[in-house]
Structure 1
Amino acid sequence: MSGSEIQWCFSQVKGTIEEEITDADIISCVEFNSTGELLATGDKGGRIVIFQQEQGNPPFGEYNVYSTFQSHEPEFDYLKSLEIEEKINKIRWLERANPAHFLLSTNDKTIKLWKVTERDRKPEGFNLKMSDGSLRDPSSIDSLVVPVFKPMELMVEASPRRIFANAHTYHINSISVNSDQQTFMSADDLRINLWHLEITDQSFNIVDIKPANMEELTEVITAAEFHPRDCNSFVYSSSKGSIRLCDMRQRALCDQHAKLFEEPDDPSSRNFFSEIISSVSDVKFSNNGRYLVTRDYLNVKVWDLQMESRPVETYQVHEYLRSKLCSLYENDCIFDKFECAWSGNDRHVITGSYNNFFRIFDRDTKKEVTLEASRENVKPKTVLKSKKVSQAGRKKKDEISVDSLDFQRKILHTAWHPHQNVLAIAATNNLYLFQSKDT
C-alpha cells in the first residue's frame, strides 16, 4: 500500500476551540507506547494526558482519556536567577514488564519516571477501622472479620517513582530509553548523560563537546537517540547538520564518534541562512535499525548506516519557503524545531509544516502528500484532501498561495502508531487523530 494509495481519514480531535489559547495548553510532545495502545501528550503547562485506544471493533483511531496528571511544576534556579519552565520537552515509554505502565518525562532540567497503574478493587471489612476510615474502639470489637476486595469504579493512578535531577547545566532536549530497558540517556546542548533507571543520584557523562573556551563553541547537540536493538550504539545530531554514531564499547567518553553522517556543503549556494536551516532538529532510527531519518528546516533526509557520505533519500518539505527565509528569520519561525517519525513498517516518513500542514513521504514509490489538520471536516471517516501550495503569482483553484500561509499554525510534533496506520498530530492546543480508510 503506497503513500499515495493510503486514503487518510479524520478520526478524532481532542482539545477545545478557543480564540485565546493559553500558552500552558500548547502541546509540546506526542508519543505512542510500543504497542500503540496508549498515546501520551505533554504540554507547556507541565501536564501529561494519556489516551487509551478503544479495543474491539474498529475504528482504530478512537482514543479516550485514560489518565491526566501534573508532571512538572515551574521552578526557580536561585544560583543562576533563572526560571525553569514546567514545559514537557519529551516523553518516552518503557517496555511493559508488568500490569503497570512506566514512562519518562522531562522539562529543561529534571527527568521523572512515572508509574501508571489501574485500581478497580478496594478492600472492605477492616477490624480496627470504620468504613469512613475512623478508628474503632478496640473494646467494642467482639469478633474478627476477614477483609475482602470489592469491585469499584476503575481508577488510574500516576505516581512519580524516581526523579533524576541536577545533572544538566543546559536545557535537556532529548531523552532516549536503551533497548536493554535498564538505562537511558539525556542530552542537552553540550553534553549527553547515561543513567541507570534504578539510580537517581549519579549519571555517567558519555559525550561532552563543551570547549575549554566558550568563545570557541561552533555547534551544539540538538537531538540524541539510542539504536532500537544494539544497546551499545546511539546517535546525536548537531546544529551544523551532522549526525554522529557512537559506540559505547570503544571508549567510556564517546567524544570520538564511530561514524559521521554529513552531506558536503555547496559553497556556491551558501548564504546568511545556510547554517541556521541546516541545523538538524530531530533524528530517529528506523524500527529495523538500518536507517536514520533527520529533519532540518527545509528537508527530511534518510541515511543508510552503511553510507556516511550522503543521504540515500532527500525529501523537500516546504521548498517554497526558501524565498521567504528573510521574513521567517525576522519572525523567529526559522528557529522552529520540527520533528519527524517513521511508520511501523519503515516505508513512510511523516513530518510537519506550517498552516497546520503535515507531509507524508512514501519511500518505495517516492510519492508524497500534503494534508491539513483542520476542524473543517470533523466527521469521522471524512477523507482528507491533499493540499498544494502555489509559488507563482497565479494559483490554480485548489492551490493555496505561499503568501497566505499562516505561520502561527504549525505542526511541530507528530507520531505514527507502531503497528497501524494511525497518526497523532499536535496542532497548538489540539491533538488530531487520523487513520487510513481501510484500517
Structure 2
Amino acid sequence: MSAVRGSLRPPPTPAYLPQWKSTQVVGEGRNQDPELESDFITALEFDETGRYLAIGDRSGKIQVLESKKEKASTPSGKAGAKKGTSSDAEYQPLAEFQSHEPEFDYLKSLEIEEKINKIRWMKRTSGSHMMLSTNDKTIKLWKLSERRTPTVSNANTDSAAAGVRRGGVLKFPKRQMGEKGPVAMPRKVYQNAHAYHINSISCNSDGETFISADDLRINLWNAEVSDKTFTVVDIKPASMEELTEVITAAEFHPRNCHHFAYSNSRGSIKLCDLRASSLCDDHAKSFEEEEDPASRTFFSEIISSISDIKFTEDGRYLIARDYMTVKVWDLHMESRPVKTLNIHEHLRAKLCDLYEKDFIFDKFECSLKQGGKQLVTGSYNHQFHVLDWASGTDMAMEATKNASKKKAPQFKRLSLGRGRQTGAKDPPPPSINTDLDTIDFMKRVLHCAFHPHDNTVAVGASGAVYLYTG
C-alpha cells in the first residue's frame, strides 16, 4: 500500500536536469495593475549571441539590456561567483528609446496603437546592431551604435551677462564631443503595406530580406528598400463573407532562405517555397492533425488556433503553440505531430467561462534554445513552463520577485504521445494551481524568450521581465 502511495507523489527532479532559479527582475518598479496596461511587456527577444535582450512594451518603448556577466574563477580553477556580483544582476540597461508613437488613420477613422507587437534582431554585419520593431501598421529598422554626443561648454550664464553690461567679456560657447554612449537611430520605415494588423515579422537567413504578416497577407521586404514590397501570400477571399481562416504567425526557415512557414486560425501550418512561385498560395506542405469528430465541441476550432510557431535551429522540426498544447512537427511528416505536450489540459472544464471573458483568445508565445530541444512557454497565474520535448520533462515555475519564498520549481515527466492523445491526459505539474476558481487569469505570461546558448529564460509578466537561470 505504501508503494502505491509513494507512486502518487511528485517525482523528484533528476540530478541531470538544471536547477532553475530567479536571477534578476527588470522593471519591478513598473505598474503591475492589470487594469492599467501602459507599461505591460508586449515583446521580448534575445539577439543571436544572447548578449543583448530587447524589451518592448505597450507604450511603444524599447529597452535594450546588455549582459555584464563575467565568469569568475576560484583559486581551485572552478568557475563561480559570489553573491551580489554581476552574475546576480546579469543584464544592465544599455539604451531606451521610443520606437512608435500613437497615430490616427484619418481615412479609416481608426486609432493606431503604439504598442510593440514584435522585435527581431537582424544579423550583425558591422560594429552596429540592427533591429526591426513593429506595431499594428508600421515596421521600423533601428540602428544601435555607440556615438559621442555633443555638449556645450563656456556658455554665458546670467551672472556673466551682467558682467558684460559692466564692461566684462562675452564668452563664445564651445561645442565639445562628450563620452561615447549608445544611440538608437531610425534607418528605415516600412509602412502603408498592411491593411490589417501585423502579427509577425521574421528575418531571412540571407541577412537582406524579411517577411511581415497580417491577418490575410504576408509581404516580403528588402531591408534596404522601404517603399516597395512583394506580397507572397494572399488568402483574402473575393467576398469577406467567405472568410474561414486568418494568418496567425509566420517564420522564415533558419537555413533555407527560400522556405518559410505560416500558421492559421484553423490549426494548420503551411510550408512555402519561394522558388516554386512568387505568390505562394499553393503551399509546398501542409501540417494539420485531423480531429476526431466525436470529440469536437464548440470550442475546438478556437483552442486549435495556433498563436506562435518556431523552427528548430537545424530546420528539421516546427514547434507550434496553441491554447492547450505545444506540438512538435517533423517536416518530413505532414499527417500528425511527432509529439504533443499538454499545457492547459486542466483548463478544459472551464472553457465556457474563458470564452465568455475572452481569455480563450489569449495568444501565448514559445521560444526555443538553439542546438537543443528545450523550449519555454507561458500560462496563467504568472506561471511558465520550461519543457524538454526530447526527454519529456516539464519544469513549471512562477515569475515572481520573491521566488525563494515560493515553492521550488516542480518537475513532471510527460507522456509523449504521437499526434492527438486519446487516452488519459497528463496531470499538470504539482506547482500548477488546479483550483480553477482561484486562478488569476489576468496574471498571464504571454511573452517569453530563451537564451540562444545558455540555460537562461526571460519571461514578461505584467510590467516586469523575470530572468531565470538553470
Normalised by the size of structure 2, how large is the TM-score? 0.82
Cα distance in 2, alignment partners of residues 103 and 40 from structure 1: 9
Change (3 A) 1:18 1:307: same
Q: Please give the secondary structure, in 1, of the residue aligned with 2:469.
A: strand
Q: Assess if the C-alpha contact under 8 Å between 1:3 and 1:367 holds in 2.
A: no
Q: Assess if the C-alpha contact under 8 Å between 1:8 and 1:383 holds in 2.
A: no
- Give CA deviations for 1:172-214 in whole Å, capped at 9, x if unaligned: 0000010001011100000000000111111000000000011
Q: Could you say which residue in structure 2 is the equivalent of 1:11?
A: 23
Give the 5 Å matches for 1:100-111.
100-111=128-139
Q: Assess if the C-alpha contact under 8 Å between 1:233 and 1:248 holds in 2.
A: yes
Please, which of 435, 440, 454 is the counterpart of residue 406 of structure 1? Answer: 440
Give the 5 Å matches for 1:202-221.
202-221=228-247
**What is the one-letter code of the residue matched to 1:6?**
P
Change (3 A) 1:361 1:417: same
Please, which of 211, 215, 238 is the counterpart of residue 264 of structure 2? Answer: 238
Please, which of 90, 93, 104 is the counterpart of residue 76 of structure 1? Answer: 104
Cα distance in 2, alignment partners of residues 399 and 422 from structure 1: 21
- Is 1:94–2:108 an aligned residue pair? no
Please, which of 375, 382, 385 is the counterpart of residue 409 of structure 2? Answer: 385
Q: Please give the secondary structure, in 1, of the residue aligned with 2:442.
A: coil
Please, which of 424, 429, 433 is the counterpart of residue 458 of structure 2? Answer: 424
Please, which of 44, 48, 53 is the counterpart of residue 39 of structure 1? Answer: 53
Cα distance in 2, alignment partners of residues 323 and 157 from structure 1: 51
Change (3 A) 1:384 1:153: farther
Q: Could you say which residue in structure 2 is the equivalent of 1:144?
A: none
Q: Could you say which residue in structure 2 is the equivalent of 1:271?
A: 297
Give the 5 Å matches for 1:147-226.
152-226=178-252
CA shift at 1:415, angstroms? Answer: 0.4
- Mean CA deviation greater in 369-378 or 42-51: 369-378
CA shift at 1:265, angstroms? Answer: 1.3
**What is the one-letter code of the residue matched to 2:455?**
N
Q: Assess if the C-alpha contact under 8 Å between 2:100 and 2:115 holds in 1.
A: yes
CA shift at 1:363, angstroms? Answer: 2.0
**What is the one-letter code of the residue matched to 2:331?**
L
Q: Please give the secondary structure, in 1, of the residue aligned with 2:59.
A: coil
CA shift at 1:153, angstroms? Answer: 3.5
Coordinate RMSD, CA, aligned: 2.6
Q: Assess if the C-alpha contact under 8 Å between 2:140 and 2:189 holds in 1.
A: yes
CA shift at 1:61, angstroms? Answer: 6.5
Cα distance in 2, alignment partners of residues 230 and 378 from structure 1: 44
Give the 5 Å matches for 1:227-376.
227-376=253-402
- Mean CA deviation greater in 46-55 or 360-369: 360-369
Q: Could you say which residue in structure 2 is the equivalent of 1:138?
A: none
Q: Please give the secondary structure, in 2, of the residue aligned with 1:426.
A: strand
Q: Assess if the C-alpha contact under 8 Å between 2:38 and 2:59 holds in 1.
A: yes
**What is the one-letter code of the residue matched to 2:144?**
V
**What is the one-letter code of the residue matched to 1:35?**
T
Cα distance in 1, alignment partners of residues 303 and 24 from structure 2: 33
Cα distance in 2, alignment partners of residues 47 and 410 from structure 1: 21
Cα distance in 1, alignment partners of residues 199 and 274 from structure 2: 21
Q: Which sections of structure 2, spanning at least 5 residues, go unmatched? A: 1-12, 72-80, 82-86, 157-173, 413-427
Change (3 A) 1:131 1:193: farther
**What is the one-letter code of the residue matched to 1:162?**
K
Q: Assess if the C-alpha contact under 8 Å between 1:61 and 1:434 holds in 2.
A: no
Cα distance in 2, alignment partners of residues 122 and 85 from structure 1: 31
CA shift at 1:378, angstroms? Answer: 6.1
Q: Assess if the C-alpha contact under 8 Å between 1:110 and 1:163 holds in 2.
A: yes
- Mean CA deviation greater in 65-74 or 357-366: 357-366
Cα distance in 1, alignment partners of residues 30 and 224 from structure 2: 42
Change (3 A) 1:131 1:261: farther
Q: Could you say which residue in structure 2 is the equivalent of 1:435?
A: 469
CA shift at 1:385, angstroms? Answer: 2.7
Q: Assess if the C-alpha contact under 8 Å between 1:414 and 1:425 holds in 2.
A: yes
Q: Assess if the C-alpha contact under 8 Å between 1:89 and 1:108 holds in 2.
A: yes
How many pairs are equivalent?
409
- Give CA deviations for 1:33-79 in whole Å, capped at 9, x if unaligned: 00001000111100001111114236286101110000000000011
